Homo-oligomer: A and B are copies of this chain.
Amino acid sequence: MIAGIIGAAGYAGAELVRLLTGHPEVDALAPASVNHGGERIEDMYLNFWGQISAPLESPEAVIERADVIFTALPSGVGEPYAKAALERGISCIDLSADFRFGEDEAAFSAWYGKPYVFPELRKRSVYGLPELNRAKLKALAAEGPVIIGNPGCYPTGASLGAFPALARGLAGAGVIIVDSASGVTGGGREPQRSFHYPECADTMAPYKVGAHRHTPEISRNFQAMAALNGQSAAPALIFTPHLAPMNRGILSTIYIPLAEPRQAGRNVDSKGGSVRPPSKEINDRAAEFREIYADFYRKEPFVPVLPSGVVAATGRVRCSNFCHISVHLDPGGTTLIVVSALDNMVKGAAGQAVQNMNILFGFDERTGLGQIPASF
């Protein structure tokens, strides 16, 4: 089959090129670019030099002959290509936010500041987070070509970290806090001051506190997973992204208030301060939660739940499609603390898109994504 990549000159596009080149079911890549037509991708990305010789074509040319289309474009730009793909009878996997909100255009436009271009396309679109929506995706695809709204990077990590708690009724009232740190590739290929090396090396800072566009996507996923499992509404969400001095990776530390906090023997003194280290009881209970998580993800190929006592780290999933999860409990027993780590460009973008392609075509989901992460 031929995989068309529109927006191949951008970072997510380049990562799609890398992953699809090694995909055994993909016979040929057809990379395209809106702005760099005629250039060769191996000249733009010298890491590909001598390995990938396809010139960047026009989007139209690629849609004409591909068997599946990936659109890796800024929000709002890809809709016409997704439409054209559907009209040609092929599916489109879109890496922007355009198809993540389905028919809820109000939510999209509140955060992205514009309306849908072709609202009717949402009848054939589905949100492509496999661990949430695999069945829905398959069902829709059974009826014909679809548009898959590939999830955002933060939402993938936040959702995978919170899903078992939401699905199994562990989360109680209150607010789930998602505190995340991302590598700088999340900002894309175009230079800007925030991502200028001297401005972001050797420093940590949050950004867009309370105002990041991925907030509503995370919140929707929380509600969806709770609903799917017959749970009442999920807690409210606070999401704070940070920029960390690294290239790849998103680490999310997720604080989930427990529906049944441990009452007896709280590890706090009379004044409310947490003054004792975690007790054996707390550690045992943390291990139980870890089992619930491990059980929830037992059949998922890309979501290993780490053993008790160790922590998820972004470096250990670098360049892979894995999302590592570690499960902890605050010593006061009130709050589940879950840590998820993924590669923002793979499970958070291009890898998940390939996983969606695999689902779409009935391949094993691991096809072309089986590579083990390097140790360092």
Interface residues of A, Cβ cutoff 8 Å to B: 11, 14-15, 18, 21-22, 43, 45-52, 107, 110-111, 174-175, 177, 179, 181, 183-185, 187, 189, 191-193, 195-207, 209-211, 215-216, 219-220, 222-223, 233-240, 242, 244-249, 251, 253, 255, 268, 271-278, 282, 304, 306-307, 310-319, 324, 326, 328-332, 334-335, 337, 339, 341, 345, 370-376
**Given contact pairs A15-B375, A234-B273, A236-B268, A246 touches B203 in the complex (Cβ within 8 A):** yes
CB<8 Å pairs between A and B, sample of 7: A45-B316, A46-B306, A49-B306, A203-B313, A205-B315, A236-B268, A247-B376
**A18 CB, nearest partner CB in chain B, Å:** 5
Are A216 and B275 in contact (CB-based, < 8 A)? Answer: yes
Contact, CB under 8 Å: B210 / A244: no
Check A374 against B204 for contact (C-beta < 8 Å): no
Known: A211-B277, A372-B48. Contact between A11 and B198, CB under 8 A?
yes
Contact A335 B255 (CB under 8 A): no
In the bound complex, CA of A207 to CA of B184 (Å) = 22
Residues of the B chain whose Cβ atoms lie less than 8 Å from the Cβ of A313: 46, 203-205
Query: Measured between alpha carbons, how far is A326 from B50 in the docked complex, in Å?
Result: 13
Q: B310 contacts A274, CB within 8 Å?
A: no
Separation in Å of the A199 CB from the closest CB of chain B? 7
B246:A205 contact, CB within 8 angstroms: no
Q: How far is the CA of A187 from the CA of B233 in the complex (A)?
A: 42
Residues of chain B within 8 A of A45, CB atoms compared: 316, 375
Tell me the bound Cα distance from A21 to B273 in angstroms.
Answer: 40
Complex Cα distance, B80 from A114, in Å, reads 48
Contact in complex: B210, A328 (CB < 8 Å): yes
CA distance A219 to B370 in the complex (A): 40
Complex CA distance for A15 and B313, rounded to whole angstroms: 18
Contact present for A324 and B191 (CB under 8 Å):
no
Q: Given A200-B197, A316-B203, verify A210-B372 contact (CB < 8 Å).
A: no
B residues near A14, Cβ cutoff 8 Å: 375-376
Tell whether, in the assembled complex, residue B219 and residue A275 are in contact, meaning their CB atoms are under 8 Å apart: yes
> Which chain B residues border A187 with CB–CB below 8 Å?
197
In angstroms, Cα B311 to Cα A49, docked, is 12
* B273:A237 contact, CB within 8 angstroms: yes
B246 & A245 in contact (Cβ 8 Å cutoff): yes
Given known A-B contacts A271-B223, A274-B236, A313-B205, A181 and B242 have beta carbons under 8 A apart? yes
B210 with A238: CB separation less than 8 A: no
In Å, the complex CA distance between A304 and B53 comes to 13
CA distance A196 to B247 in the complex (A): 11
- Is A315's CB under 8 angstroms from B253's CB? no
Once the chains are docked, how many angstroms separate the CA of A204 from the CA of B251? 7
Q: What's the nearest-Cβ distance from chain B to residue A130, in Å?
A: 17
Whether A107 touches B210, Cβ cut-off 8 Å, given contacts A313-B204, A371-B22, is: no
A208 to chain B, nearest CB (A): 9
A319 touches B202 (CB 8 A): no
Given contacts A204-B249, A237-B274, A274-B216, contact A255 B177 (CB under 8 A): yes
